[in-house]
């Protein structure tokens, strides 16, 4: 297992649009395992390949308490259902910031596994929120984009200050 380096906002690489995966198999399965391991170590409940500077359409999520419900979704396509509901979100690329975001309450997910098998399932609650958040990353979009520009600029300044202090 390898713990991968997570990019932090406002790193412009987080704005890259990911391309569809075409090569499935052992190498992708290894990357999926590394993505999950990196997410658990952070610790977090979701991580997109974009966040570790790999610009292919792969996300890892596990919203269980005991790390026993891992999903690695490749080329995910979402269908949104139901009303919008507001949930407080955070992001491993925006450390220490939590803000409410409105998203669809239920989704249908079509994707492939890293081995290339087609899967489809429905999700609601935190899992639905998390998958929508991670799929945004693949488009180069961050949860702070849903906030006011004033709030976003405050967050950017705060994180840039923290990054300078660490450097």
Catalytic machinery residues? 134
94, 8 in Cβ contact below 8 A?
yes
Decide the pairing of beta strands 99-112 and 71-89.
Answer: antiparallel
The stretch near Ni ion (CB under 5 A) out of 60-68, 91-99, 104-112, 145-153 is: 91-99
Minimum distance, C-beta of residue 114 to Ni ion, in the bound complex (Å): 20
35 binds Ni ion, rule: CB under 5 A: no
The stretch near Ni ion (CB under 5 A) out of 14-22, 54-62, 87-95, 146-154 is: 87-95
97 binds Ni ion, rule: CB under 5 A: no
Nearer to Ni ion, 9 or 31 (CB): 9
Minimum distance, C-beta of residue 116 to Ni ion, in the bound complex (Å): 26
How many Å apart are CA 31 and CA 46, to the nearest integer?
Answer: 15
Nearer to Ni ion, 28 or 91 (CB): 91
Minimum distance, C-beta of residue 90 to Ni ion, in the bound complex (Å): 8
91 binds Ni ion, rule: CB under 5 A: yes
159 binds Ni ion, rule: CB under 5 A: no
Count CB-CB contacts under 10 A for residue 163: 13
Count CB-CB contacts under 10 A for residue 65: 7
18, 63 in Cβ contact below 8 A?
no
What are the distances in angstroms from CA 42 to CA 7, 8, 129, 137, 149? 12, 13, 19, 17, 28
The footprint of Ni ion on this chain (CB under 5 A) covers a number of residues equal to 1
14 binds Ni ion, rule: CB under 5 A: no
Q: Token pair of 167, please?
A: 């450097």
Nearer to Ni ion, 67 or 120 (CB): 67
Minimum distance, C-beta of residue 80 to Ni ion, in the bound complex (Å): 18
Helical spans, DSSP H, in the chain: 26-41, 125-138, 149-166
Q: Return residues touching Ni ion (CB under 5 A).
A: 91
């Amino acid at each position: 297992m390898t713990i991968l380096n997570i990019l932090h906002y406002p790193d412009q690489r987080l704005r890259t649009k990911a391309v569809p995966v075409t090569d499935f198999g052992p190498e992708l399965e290894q990357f999926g395992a590394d993505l999950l391991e990196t997410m658990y170590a952070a610790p977090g409940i979701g991580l997109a390949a974009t966040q570790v500077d790999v610009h292919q359409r792969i996300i890892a999520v596990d919203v269980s308490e005991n790390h026993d419900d891992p999903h690695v979704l490749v080329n995910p396509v979402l269908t949104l259902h139901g009303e919008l509901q507001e949930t407080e979100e955070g992001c491993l690329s925006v450390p220490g910031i939590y803000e409410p975001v409105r998203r669809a309450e239920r989704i249908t997910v079509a994707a492939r596994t890293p081995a290339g098998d087609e899967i489809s399932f429905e999700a609601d609650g935190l899992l639905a929120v998390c998958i929508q958040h991670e799929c945004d990353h693949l488009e180069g979009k961050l949860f702070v984009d849903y906030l006011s520009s004033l709030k976003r600029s405050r967050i950017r300044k705060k994180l840039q200050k923290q990054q300078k202090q660490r450097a």
